[in-house]
Amino acid sequence: MRKLLFLLPVVALLVLASCGGKKNAGLPLTTDVPARPAGQEDMLAFAAPAIDTVRIGFVGLGMRGSSAIDRYIHMEGTKIVALCDVRQECVDRAQAKLAAAGFPAAAEYAGDTEVYKQLCERGDIDLVYICTDWVHHVPVALYAMEHGKHAAIEVPAATSLEDIWALINTSERTRKHCIQLENCCYDFYELNTLYMAQQGLFGEIFHGEGAYLHCLDPYWDQYWNHWRSEFNRTHRGDVYPTHGFGPVCQVFNIHRGDQLKTLVAMDTDPFTGPSVLRKVQPEVADPDNFMNGDHTTTLIRTAQGKTIQIQHGVMTPRPYSRLYQIQGTNGYATKYPRQGYSFTPDKIGDAVDLPDGYDGESFLSEGQMAQLLETYTHPLIKEIGEVARRVGGHGGMDFIMDYRLIYCLRNGLPLDMDVYDLAEWCCVGPLSALSIEHGSAPVEVPDFTRGGQDKLHGYRHYYIQ
């Protein structure tokens, strides 16, 4: 079936040719934007009443959920009330962590994929923290919000437009936060670079790149029920876009001044997927019918005429990379394969002693980078960076993310990432698939705020109050 899809670019070209190459040959492709139900308001800058001690129920305690427990043991102002996983052994492991840290045992729910409902129905939980496989993120989050809980969901929170709109509508109607746990927004380099961008160091930022390029060979057979290889087997497009995309969207101030408008995507053939499947899921009858390409590239253009490129590749050996590149009129930042900055010499001010003859075409030296960070270390890193490094979680970024979530909930502040960020970052999955399935046709990115684009104009992420 995938082979037949290769004919679509040809069909699309023929359609364009028959329309005299006009740009308006039914393009960009559009998707339905459901009207906001009457009486429902947006969640832009939404702040819930402050919660003194945030009482948490965890659903999904596999690899990622288990490491969340390691972090929350160190989180002030929280109480781990309940633990839930299909597999009893995962709940047992989490209980053992609580016991070792001197905490009382939490209520536990295990045995099947519906038992999370009992956790959500409890009256003593404020936040449901969801680390299940992708298929179960949305049902758990919807049920949690319907039962009066804020929902925090691992990445990607949702994998279809239908689910994205369901999360938005439920969050708006129930007035409950629905946050996607995009930890890479809190990595040290990303936070510092965002801070520099907010001070104007890069000038006008017009291009960004992000990626998830990570060979998952050591992990394929560790996922519960092989959910991840199964999802890749059955879906084209960038199925894991948010690590690369989220931090770049924050630099671009998406739905806080600029707006995602059009997306195009292209993938390679699945050169490696079938052999992964033969190893991991030998029961699959037709492993060659594998949908996800070894490498998928997506390009997005914004309302202000800027571009973002996102890549996904999880099949083949290579050093890990999220790219994270920012290009502005006065400067450039890149995180992989090496961290570096370069700037237009006369625009950087006096934060760095530049050597005579520096022309901006080479990276700042280690010493100059250190000087730069004396002025431009993000306030959040100054506040909690050392503790975060000690607690860990991808070098500390996971802890900074949790710390900010709990801080905002305890202080009744809007969260750093709202349900529209969730929607914009997740929509790359289904929209890239749509573009690819139509011969890399341009696809319009819906306005998930439904007309609220100007409301947060000028807002700065992580404003520390």
Contact footprint for ligand NAD (CB under 6 A): 59-65, 84-87, 90, 113, 116, 131-134, 136, 154-155, 183, 223-224, 394
Amino acid at site 189: Y
CB 127 within 8 A of CB 152: yes
Q: Least distance to ligand NAD from the beta carbon of 397, Å?
A: 9
Q: From 143, 137, 86, select the one nearest 109 (Cα to Cα).
A: 86
Q: Least distance to ligand NAD from the beta carbon of 156, Å?
A: 7
Residue 116 vs 165, nearer CB to ligand NAD: 116
CA distance 279 to 274: 9
Structure tokens at 419: 């349900």
CB 300 within 8 A of CB 263: yes
Residue 84 vs 406, nearer CB to ligand NAD: 84
Residue burial 31-41, b: 16+ Cβ < 10 Å; e: rest: eeeeebeeebe
Q: Least distance to ligand NAD from the beta carbon of 110, Å?
A: 8
Q: Least distance to ligand NAD from the beta carbon of 41, Å?
A: 29
Residue 89 vs 124, nearer CB to ligand NAD: 89
- Report the SS3 class of residue 11: helix
Residue 254 pairs with which residues in a beta bridge? 258
Residue 44 vs 75, nearer CB to ligand NAD: 75
Using CB positions, name the residue nearest to ligand NAD.
Answer: 62
Q: Least distance to ligand NAD from the beta carbon of 170, Å?
A: 17
Structure tokens at 158: 């949702």
CA distance 264 to 298: 6
Structure tokens at 207: 């291009």
Residue 347 vs 389, nearer CB to ligand NAD: 389
CA distance 130 to 142: 11
CA distance 283 to 359: 59
Q: Least distance to ligand NAD from the beta carbon of 217, Å?
A: 14
Residue 65 vs 313, nearer CB to ligand NAD: 65
Structure tokens at 280: 């991991």
Q: Least distance to ligand NAD from the beta carbon of 282, Å?
A: 19
Residue 62 vs 328, nearer CB to ligand NAD: 62
Q: What is the DSSP letter of 294?
A: S
Q: Least distance to ligand NAD from the beta carbon of 415, Å?
A: 16
Residue 130 vs 352, nearer CB to ligand NAD: 130
CA distance 145 to 46: 15
